[in-house]
Amino acid sequence: MGEAEAASAETGRVGGRKQARLYAVKTVAGRELDVALLIAQRADDEELPIYSVVVPPRIKGYVIVESPAAYHVANAIQGIRYAKGVVPGVLDYKDVERLLKPEAIIETLKPGDIVEIISGPFRGMKAQVVRVLGGRNEVVLNVLEVEYPLQITVPGDSVRLTRERGS
């Protein structure tokens, strides 16, 4: 490791700018997008070193902000009505990456599993998996809550597993 690389490792600087870290901002649930937009706007207006603002889809009440220091994030959220504060500590990139990747429920479904339909005209109904069309990300279901045999094909993200076959 050369002198420049050693200095970079000691000071936390990469390419002349301080290395960014991820911080969580606690918000009012349901107002995450508002807070994220206001943080981004303030970062532009005041030229704060905030590199990105992310609203994780599966976590309510939090926004993730990429910045070199927590005090920059605190400055950005100061006075924002729905922002409650910066959560102490730094988030790991791997943990955030896991939060942002969508769950592939279709890979876990097998014929015979009982699922609940969570969107579309059959929302709320129970159904049994007949076939999984993995290449098309679709599931063929036999709706259990109707009097006659009804087989439908729905997108894989429109179902939630409630009971595995044999359980």
Q: What is the pLDDT of residues 129-163, one digit of tens each?
A: 999 987 888 999 999 998 998 999 999 888 988 87
DSSP state of 59: -
Q: How far is CA 77 from CA 18, 82, 88, 139, in A?
A: 20, 9, 14, 44
Tell me: the pLDDT tens digits for 72-83? 999 999 999 999
Q: How far is CA 145 from CA 6, 126, 131, 132, 159, in A?
A: 66, 6, 18, 20, 15
Identify the residue with better confidence: 100 or 69: 69
Indicate where the chain has its CATH 3.30.70.940 domain(s): 3-100
The fold adopted by the segment(s) 3-100 is Alpha-Beta Plaits (3.30.70)
Q: Which CATH number fits domain 105-163: 3.40.1190.20, 1.10.150.120, 2.30.30.30, 1.10.10.10?
A: 2.30.30.30
Residue with tokens 């993730």: 64
pLDDT at 4 over 80: no
Name residue 85's amino acid: G
Q: Write down the pLDDT at residue 102.
A: 67
- Cα 62 to the chain's mean position, in Å? 10
Q: Write down the pLDDT at residue 87.
A: 95
Q: Write down the pLDDT at residue 68.
A: 96
Indicate where the chain has its CATH 2.30.30.30 domain(s): 105-163
